[in-house]
Amino acid sequence: MKIINENIMSSDNYQALKDLKNRLLNFFGIEKIILFGSNVRTEANEESDCDLLILTDHPLKRFDRHKITDAIFDINLLYGTNYSSLVVDRTSWESGPISVLPITEEIRRDGIVI
């Protein structure tokens, strides 16, 4: 998996992701944040969102998942970005039902760790 740097995207998007990472890593149990989807594949258009996989070390309760969504919403407002998230715990990612979905292989192949 690639690691994000300033050369991959605009400086505003890069700064938004750095800010988002700092905010989200304060939440308990977040192991990795991975950018994936059309933006990573350079197939995005004006209507495309930026997809983020939020990988946690344990399943989160609904309240905690909403805290993550709220933080992403705040970043979107602050920077004028359009990030959306998929929050998955490590066990589900590696051996749960999501582990066999095509999106999992796409993220493993194309994803960029923030």
DSSP per position, 41-102: TT---TT--EEEEEEESSPPPHHHHHHHHHHHHHHHHHHT--EEEEEEEHHHHHHSGGGGSH
11-24 and 62-79 helices cross at what angle (nearest 10)?
150
Report the pLDDT value the prediction gives residue 73, as an integer from 0 to 100: 97
pLDDT in tens, 23-59: 998 777 899 999 999 888 788 777 778 999 999 999 9
Q: Please tell me which residue, 29 or 111, carries the higher pLDDT value.
A: 111
pLDDT in tens, 50-96: 999 999 999 999 999 999 999 999 999 999 999 999 999 999 999 99
Question: What's the whole-model pTM score?
Answer: 0.88
Domains and CATH numbers, the chain: 2-113 (3.30.460.10)
Report the pLDDT value the prediction gives residue 102, as an integer from 0 to 100: 96
pLDDT in tens, 2-23: 666 655 677 888 899 999 999 9
